[in-house]
Structure 1
Amino acid sequence: MPINQKSWIINHYAKDELKGTELELVDRPVPDLAKNQVLIKTLMLSLDPSNRLWLSEEEDYLPQLQIGDVMRGLVIGRVEQSRHSRFKVGDHLHSLQSWQQYAVVDGKSLTPENGTIHFTPHPDIPLDAYVSALGLTGWTAYIGLKHIGQVQAKDNILVSGAAGATGLMACQIGKAINAKVVGIAGGSEKCHSLETIFNLDGTIDYKNCDNLSQAMACAFPEGIDIFFDNVGGAMLDAALENMAIGGRIVVSGSISQYQQLGDKTRLYGVQNTHMLVTKRLKMQGYLILDYLNEIEQILPEMERWLLEGKIQYRNTEVIGIENAQQAMSQLFSGGNIGKLVIKVS
């Protein structure tokens, strides 16, 4: 059993844009294993926009982290030692844990209700697929489109943040269901990849677009049936103008606003909410943590799609837990395509 490990602890809360000083890397002892506890080795650490929320003093959907706490994070881990009857050495877990190399956890807490999925990797699928396409981002896209958006074949789907982890999966799941999918992304390189590698029906390059609403109208002259939104702000306003009657807006995230948290004067005020009434729209936010009990039924279908080539995944991989804080800024600069992952071991 390891004696010490590297851990990222909270040094101060984030205000406005990330400064790269919010966390501090420290050496900490690995606790001894008590009865009914499990030692989890972190293999991969997922970097997500929610990390910015958890570094804020603003209230969110999980208990507030305190100064000095280990940073919260989603990990792919492997059981290294176990004193709990439900877990054996070598078991794989997708779990809400921390930014550190190891975690000693009570086995009874490792449940879907507490953010943990116990899974067996498919022998023909690389493990890193389970941190992206077959992990939280893939599940989020699946639930958002199929459960919240009630997607149907031939629907017109617009996805914001389409080159990001969740957006990329929403695009591909839409295509797998035989819908028309157009993605919004920043820059010609990302847009080209979305159309040529991931076979989207079209893209909108928001960085080189003078009028987002007009671009959406050109892409969907009959209106948007589903807007899968990861960005919020002005993109949401433009989409509201272009929704079809009875359309559905799936609110997966609002990354354009996260770095303004704590300063309401800088938050974007959506102006077109009256169109929810006039167009008879449905708009719903959701958290994948509320649906983890369904993953056991969802995962086999998604594994099949991956093996059949209907969905692909692309990770931006950073080596070493010591680089996690620096890498996090890529989430907000657009420096990554697909899932941003720290390979810990």
Structure 2
Amino acid sequence: MESLNGRRPTVIDVAKRAGVSKSTAARVLSDAPNISDSAREQVLLAAKALGYTRNELAVSMRSGRSGMLGLVLPDIANPFWGEVARGAQDRAADAGVSILIFSSNWSAEKERMHLSTMMQARVDGAIINPVADQLGDLERFGLPCIMIGSSAERFPDSASIGSDIAQGVALGMDYLRSKGHLRPALIVGQRTRLARARFLRAVHEHCIKHDIDPVTLPVEDADYTTEGGALAMRRLLVRHEGGHLCVFAANDLMALGAMGAVRETGLHCPQDVSILGFDGIQAGAFAWPGLTTIEKPARQIGAEAVAQLLKRDVEAAQGSRIYLPCTLTERGSIADLRRKSMRDSVASGERR
């Protein structure tokens, strides 16, 4: 690598070494078209020899683009949101774009602070699971934005991407029904959270479809955490009047917490209590028994949100929502009551 007395090499240095004009060197280094192969090769060899790297700040100031996107998540400690971030980061990296990741921790004040930081960083677009009802400067300055998560429904005029919650809940309820669990107890989020309403609405629709009164399903509110799930599970066990108990939790962290509470009381899953989760985080695979869950396409949500921003057609997509389907991941936390009932019937007949 050629020394320039400690200073950073410039486009002019590259042009001189390659024997071309400054404009030609600049066009090659910005990957512009219509450059002869020989000139391109000369410039690239000169840049490598000098150790030249682009001044991205200067480039962004000239182009009006920073080459960065912002991602604001509600809780990066929740593995589901970590997967969303991974999908967004991978897709951004494929496109040569950087992504700034923030966690609001469900705080509207922190969200405002992060949005302000993104504006100062001059990001080219933002992906947000909104906590606040208004996004202030982001809306006022017209920054391209994609909403994700259940909270996106509060912004009907914005483009958004998320899981198909209605389809996922129906998938879970159908699965439980196939195993003989017609009236599962529900562990859902706090009453202030839109995700809770969406989950319960989907359960209600499924019950009506199958001629079941949704009021007969026990419901416990909880934080979307393992601690919240454990507390809700203890309350359900106190209320339970005997027999096999089935629980459908609105996220996997609550489901895992519920499994822990079952063990604490000396009961067993799935022999005494069946538990179904919702999210598909990897921790469910390492629980004992493994957690059966409805898996949301977390990485796909993050990747698709970045892809939509990179298309630069967010304005044309205003008000549109992309619903990505959920899938069932079957492990060992659900008892098959119908098979058990059949075995009991056979055994009873043999005794007679």
For the aligned pair, the TM-score class normalised by the smaller chain equals 0.3 to 0.5
> Quick check: which one's strand share is greater?
1
> What's the TM-score, normalizing by structure 2?
0.34
> What's the TM-score, normalizing by structure 1?
0.34
Larger radius of gyration: 2
> Quick check: which one's helix share is greater?
2
